[in-house]
Structure 1
């Protein structure tokens, strides 16, 4: 099969012919139609996340068709369209799993990081961690729902009942969250890199009532803010925008160092919290909600062999919405 392979962090992906995998017990073999390109992929490729499986096929926003089922795998039938997300395995027995927090499982394994992912024509996955894809979403438009959407949805939940919501870093996740927030009757305020007028225009197009630079103040205090950009300096910036009792949610898996800031930014019962991974319950809830909004994903399409270009565009902040690899040309 065609695949894009990471041999070592910090190096470009290598186009190669790799062995087609086989479905093991409890697994499905998925013929990949599309795979979203996530900032987490960038962190893996750039060496900002430690200890990836090497060599590695990245990619964890996989949309494809079940082509083979392993022994004991009965959840999906041949030909079913499924999505494969970041969370690929948990032990199911630890205190986190047993308390509904499987996203924190110490034995968790992740697609495109410790398990080969979707930058290839085929991928295997534990059927228990796959999702049916909602009808009405073409493959390319469905792919960003599987991480950008899921992490955004979990982050929005942790923002509580905030009516005035700030979104720092307006990319794949934020453009989905803005639509969900509008559906829920919330007001959104978008913050982009200074001078990114196109990004601010895009934010207003998908529902933000105000958009400005990340070093600006919004026209009124916010109840909560979600930080999608991996920039630690945005934490004190976001704290300056939220009212007393407000929450700042850090949505990324990696962030640059957080600079020191004065306690008065945190005082007034403000809080800062992170969001880690996702649970299968998040996926079930969000994928049921997506058609109700309905969420429309903006995608920039790249061919499988253009994965390095897609990662480069994401690194440079040149992607409007989400980047997606069309693994099958008709995807």
Structure 2
């Protein structure tokens, strides 16, 4: 198999040849068709997240075909197209797992962080955490495995408010905009200063307003989701939401939130975070994405061009999602 490997954080990935992996009990091997690149991959590669299991194959928005099954896995899964997400395994025993909060498991494994991921021609996954997919286009499907699923979890946490602000208009925001509009919400998009391309992209998808994160929207927001990993956006979003409004932080990593006056939080405004995802999120989201007619906007790269794709994401040169194709 071919794989792009991270030997240590803050260094470029290296293309290597490895023996084809063999699935263990309860596992499957997947021939990777497409693997989207998530901002979390950047946090792993750039050393923002501590203690990755190195050497490591990053990537956790994986779509591919099951070509080998381990002991205890039905051979009926052979030849099936599956998706492999960030949450790669849970203990099933801790209080979180037994109370429908497996995303907070005490002993989890994460794809592309603590176990090898999809920047490769093949990957081994826990069969219980690989979702059967029916749609025909693996490139279009790949961003749904994290940008879509985490975006969906954020949208649920945001509540039912109609005036929704999205801070950071990348892969997750462009998917959730389409779902939210299908739900008849109003979208207000916030980007970094000078990113007119992202603002135009947001408007083209149906955003009612698009501006910079330093601006206030033309109306008070009911709720806001922050996808950009920038702590300064928390007080900015609190200024934009109404009394009783809610701000959801959707990233796994964020820079420090600066000191702010209590009046921004007062009047029962809330700040929430979203961590990981659950398998029930996927069971809810994939049918909804189909009903909403979600289209993912992608830029494809060869596997060996993963470093270029990561840099394009890092520097904000992409609209939508980057996708590697082995």
- Secondary structure in structure 2 of the residue aligned to 1:291: helix
Q: Does 1:138 align with 2:137?
A: yes
Contact 1:75–1:127 (8 Å) recurs in 2: no
C-alpha distance after superposition, 1:213-239 (max 9, x if no partner): 110010000000000000000000000
Q: Does 1:160 align with 2:164?
A: no
What is the aligned partner in structure 2 of residue 121 from structure 1? Answer: 121
Structure 2 CA distance, aligned partners of 1:76 and 1:289? 26
Structure 1 CA distance, aligned partners of 2:99 and 2:208? 38
What is the aligned partner in structure 2 of residue 197 from structure 1? Answer: 196
What is the aligned partner in structure 1 of residue 16 from structure 2? Answer: 16
Contact 2:81–2:134 (8 Å) recurs in 1: no
Contact 2:252–2:275 (8 Å) recurs in 1: yes
What is the aligned partner in structure 2 of residue 287 from structure 1? Answer: 286
What is the aligned partner in structure 1 of residue 182 from structure 2? Answer: 183
Q: Does 1:64 align with 2:56?
A: no
- Secondary structure in structure 1 of the residue aligned to 2:44: helix
Structure 1 CA distance, aligned partners of 2:213 and 2:133? 35
Structure 2 CA distance, aligned partners of 1:76 and 1:130? 14
Change (3 A) 1:177 1:105: same
TM-score, normalized by length of structure 1? 0.97
Structure 1 CA distance, aligned partners of 2:75 and 2:103? 22
Q: Where does structure 1 differ by over 4 angstroms across 4 or more consecutive aligned residues?
A: none
Q: CA deviation at 1:134?
A: 3.3
What is the aligned partner in structure 2 of residue 306 from structure 1? Answer: 305
Deviates more, 1:236-245 or 1:283-292: 283-292
- Secondary structure in structure 1 of the residue aligned to 2:282: helix
Contact 1:134–1:287 (8 Å) recurs in 2: no
Q: CA deviation at 1:127?
A: 0.7
What is the aligned partner in structure 2 of residue 271 from structure 1? Answer: 270
What is the aligned partner in structure 2 of residue 259 from structure 1? Answer: 258
What is the aligned partner in structure 2 of residue 112 from structure 1? Answer: 112
Structure 2 CA distance, aligned partners of 1:103 and 1:76? 28
Q: CA deviation at 1:77?
A: 1.9
What is the aligned partner in structure 2 of residue 7 from structure 1? Answer: 7
CA RMSD of aligned residues (A): 0.8
Deviates more, 1:226-235 or 1:18-27: 18-27
What is the aligned partner in structure 1 of residue 244 from structure 2? Answer: 245
Q: CA deviation at 1:205?
A: 1.1
TM-score, normalized by length of structure 2? 0.99
C-alpha distance after superposition, 1:238-258 (max 9, x if no partner): 000000000000000000011
What is the aligned partner in structure 2 of residue 30 from structure 1? Answer: 30
- Consecutive unaligned residues of structure 2, counting only runs of 5 or more, are none
- Consecutive unaligned residues of structure 1, counting only runs of 5 or more, are none
Structure 1 CA distance, aligned partners of 2:173 and 2:134? 21
Q: CA deviation at 1:326?
A: 1.1
Contact 2:69–2:75 (8 Å) recurs in 1: no
Structure 1 CA distance, aligned partners of 2:205 and 2:134? 21
- Secondary structure in structure 2 of the residue aligned to 1:208: coil
